[in-house]
Chain A
Amino acid sequence: MHAGIDVAGVKRSFGAVQAVQQVSFTALPGRVTGLVGPNGSGKTTLMLMLASLLRPDGGEMRIGGIDPVSDPAGARRLLGWMPDSLGAWPSLTSREVLVAAAQLYDLTRDEARARADHLLDLVDLGALAASPARVLSRGQKQRLALARALVHDPRVLLLDEPASGLDPQARIALRVLLRRLAAEGRTILISSHVLAELEEVVDDAVFMVDGRTVGTDRVAAAATRVRVWRVRVPADVARSTDAVRDDVAAALGRTAGEVRVDRRDVLVPFADEAAAVAGLRSLVSAGLPIVEFAPAVGDLEHAFLDLKTDASPASTEGAATPAADPAPPGSWQPPAEGTNDGSAS
């Protein structure tokens, strides 16, 4: 038994609603594991069960080898939980919130105060230590909630949407902090639907669709499927993007219909990475001035979108995602907002 999280066959329903149907995964110590899934896929319910707040209807869970159902106090000593809904006693100051939380973990008053000051510095809320939690912004409340989850130096961290509401600077700080906490040997499970941001921090990913974890084989299969790459050439007022598209298509030996234009970029599907490498080589040798050549969507997003299509009704499943044969043009749909994130890296 390791110090991470083990979940096997966990399920939980609320009345007739099957929130979590069949979830199995392992999160290892020293690694950040992302919990990825659409809204309503059961991520928060799973987090609540791991946090020993909700009793599963079936299945086994272990937090550092301890069953949170039979020994909640033992599990609570090990785990730090940051909820998705921000709750802080409105009239208590940030410092008082942390001192109170530390005291509830049996720290003495002096230890609790020292710990609170340390954590306020860690999440960069030192200037707001004496402000009531009521006046904090959403992002500041998020950071306070993170500090509260860390108050008893937990070995396992359960973070439910920790980055929502954070500004870019705070996000970078969170990423650095999470990497550091993982490097100290902690197990970190983090849920988010902002995939681009999750991608920057996670080592492993667990995909959840409709209350079920998706098998690693399916995830691996999704990752190897046809993928769209973004090709950018320097902006040139003299040439239209359509002309650039024709050049790219010609260099790759494709028809113009297989290659799409997205604003000033050209989007080209490749079956796998080897094909992309070959494609880039032929573009360069054709003399095209390539400044950017990258997947249009991130790895997680690619796998996630692919799995979501799988989860659609069975009648369309076969037609929508043929795993083996190269997808016909038009079967891939770069999401309208996701394209920018994907090309940024």
Chain B
Amino acid sequence: MNLHRLRTIIGIELRQRVRSIGWYVLLGIFAVILIALLSLSFAAFSLTTGGSEWFFSLVIMLVLLLTLLVSPTLSGSAVNGDRDAATLAPVQVTLVTTSEIVIGKFLAAWISGLAFLVVALPFLVVATLAGELNPGTIVTSLLILIIEVGIVAAIGVGVSAVIARPIFSVASTYLLVAALTVGTLIAFGLGGAALRTETTTISREVDWDAVPLGCDLSSPSTSTNCPGYEDLPCVESSYVSEQPRFDRVWWILAANPFVILADATPPTYVNGNPTDLFSQIASGVRLAQIAPDAATSFDGCALSRGSSVESYPSTEQRIAGTAPSWFVGLFVQLLLAGALLAWGIARTRTPAKRLPPGTRIA
């Protein structure tokens, strides 16, 4: 990896972007949508005070959505577009290596995606302050946005080096982004439901059948023959049911960019309950990590005789000690992006043994 050549490749890419009108049109539309979104939310929430945390965390989610929608266009035709325009081969005959070409294009796509984040930053700040969100939200959401733009750039460049036609590689990049955002949710739901295990529930109840005929426990001491409530025996019954095992597929959902954003943002809990959308989503994914007990018991007998009930733990307490899912999710995404880049480099290597069907090298 030679930095001078890598910089030259990035320079060629960026200079073309900066000089194309379409690039500014895209940035403009991006800014207009954000302005519209934010001014509408201000108009809507000027009536009420409080409760806007949920909404403004949704606004930050929408910034991520827009960024994810824009990014594939910046990278999805990086390599095959150059091959179509016959500008790839003249670069390949120079001393620049295939890795430098592909990684240079990836870095250029990443940098040009960051321009959208520069536009989005003021909106992030305003949304965070207006929603009275945790100020750390600005930093974490920005960091996650930067990383997500990079991951989509890597996916796009990798796919563009593997698939011959630019239009199909851009579409495939969109499909991969859709797989990460919507697909992970579906795979998580279906996967968890498919991987069921049996759970035995044992319950103890007062044996009402043991009350002799003619006795009425509600009117005690009518007859000494009648047993007191305390004297009634307890019976145990057990039944087997199937439980979905989300704890085995939670890492799929963790790879969702929105889940990563939500989980990486510092959580806010009031009385142990989440107060914004980020914390809500994060706690949901964290809870999914906890395996259901193979056997649960319910002692109705003891309960009805006045023994104190253990209080249920709050959401905040229950997720303490679970793995930070954003970390796992980013790892899964980086693995995907890195694998696609490596595949792309392998397919672009010269002297080429095999060409993608229907292409000429120059």
Chain A positions within 8 Å of B, measured between CB atoms, are 14, 44, 48-49, 51-55, 68-69, 72-73, 76-77, 79, 81, 83-92, 96, 100-101, 103-106, 108, 132, 145, 148, 152
Given contacts A83-B90, A100-B12, A148-B90, contact A105 B361 (CB under 8 A): no
Q: Please tell me if the beta carbons of A85 and B86 are within 8 angstroms of each other in the complex.
A: yes
Q: Is B322 an interface residue (CB 8 A)?
A: no
CB within 8 Å of A: which B1-25 residues: 2, 4-5, 8-9, 11-12, 15-16, 19-20
Instruction: Determine the chain A residues whose CB is within 8 A of the CB of B9 once the complex forms.
Output: 104
Comparing B223-231, B236-244, B348-356, the segment that makes contact with chain A is B348-356
Q: Which residues of A contact B11 (CB under 8 A)?
A: 100
Q: Is B126 an interface residue (CB 8 A)?
A: no
Contact B5 A104 (CB under 8 A): yes
Nearest-neighbour CB distance to chain A for B168, whole angstroms, equals 20
- In the complex the two chains form, is A53's CB within 8 Å of B95's CB? no
What chain A residues lie within 8 Å of B85 (beta carbons)? 87, 89-90
Show 18 residue pairs from A and B whose CB-CB distance is below 8 angstroms, ordered by the A residue.
Answer: A48-B362, A52-B93, A53-B93, A53-B350, A53-B351, A55-B353, A76-B95, A77-B95, A81-B90, A85-B360, A86-B86, A87-B86, A87-B89, A89-B85, A91-B15, A103-B8, A104-B5, A105-B94
CB distance from A220 to the nearest CB of B (A): 33
Contact in complex: A53, B94 (CB < 8 Å) = no
Beta-carbon contact of A53 and B362 below 8 Å: yes
Smallest CB separation, B300 vs chain A (Å): 74
Q: B100: nearest residue on chain A (CB-CB)?
A: A104
CA distance A92 to B17 in the complex (A): 10
Residues of A within 8 A of B12 (CB): 89, 92, 100
Q: Please tell me if the beta carbons of A53 and B92 are within 8 angstroms of each other in the complex.
A: yes
B-side residues, CB < 8 A to A, are 2, 4-5, 8-9, 11-12, 15-16, 19-20, 85-97, 350-353, 355, 360-362
CA distance A89 to B351 in the complex (A): 23
Most chain-B Cβ atoms within 10 A of its Cβ — which of A76, A77, A108, A132? A76
Chain B residues positioned under 8 Å from A92 (CB to CB): 12, 15-16
**Interface pair A103/B87, CB less than 8 Å apart:** no
Q: A48-B362, A81-B93, A87-B87 are in contact. List 18 more A-B contacts (CB 8 A).
A: A52-B350, A53-B89, A53-B93, A53-B352, A53-B362, A54-B351, A54-B352, A54-B361, A69-B351, A73-B97, A76-B93, A84-B362, A88-B87, A91-B19, A101-B90, A104-B9, A132-B19, A148-B90
The reply to whether A73 and B95 contact each other, CB–CB distance below 8 Å, is yes
Contacts of B93 in A (CB 8 A): 51-53, 76, 79, 81
Assess the A100–B8 pair: CB atoms within 8 A: yes
Q: In the assembly, what is the distance between CA of A105 and CA of B92, in Å? A: 11
CA distance A187 to B221 in the complex (A): 120
User: Which residue of chain A lies nearest to B8 when distances are taken between CB atoms in the complex?
Assistant: A103
Minimal beta-carbon separation of A341 from chain B (angstroms): 29
Alpha-carbon distance between A134 and B126 when the two chains are bound, in angstroms: 42
A138 to chain B, nearest CB (A): 13
Q: Are A103 and B361 in touch, CB under 8 angstroms?
A: no
B96 smallest CB distance to A (angstroms): 5
Which of A48, A49, A104 has the most C-beta atoms of chain B within 10 angstroms of its own C-beta?
A104
When chains A and B are docked, how far (Å) is the Cα of A53 from the Cα of B89?
Answer: 8
Q: Is the CB of B351 within 8 A of A52?
A: yes
CB neighbours (8 Å) of B15 from chain A are 91-92, 96
Which chain A residues border B361 with CB–CB below 8 Å?
48, 53-54
B95 CB contact (under 8 Å) in A49, A89, A90, A106:
A106
Docked CA distance A48–B12 (Å)? 24
Residues A104 and B16 in contact in the complex (CB < 8 Å), given A49-B351, A53-B352, A85-B362: no
**CB nearest to B19 among chain A residues:** A91
CB distance from A127 to the nearest CB of B (A): 21
> Chain A: which residue is nearest B94 at the CB level?
A104
State A69–B2 Cα separation when bound (angstroms). 22
**In whole Å, how far is B353's beta carbon from the nearest beta carbon of chain A?**
5
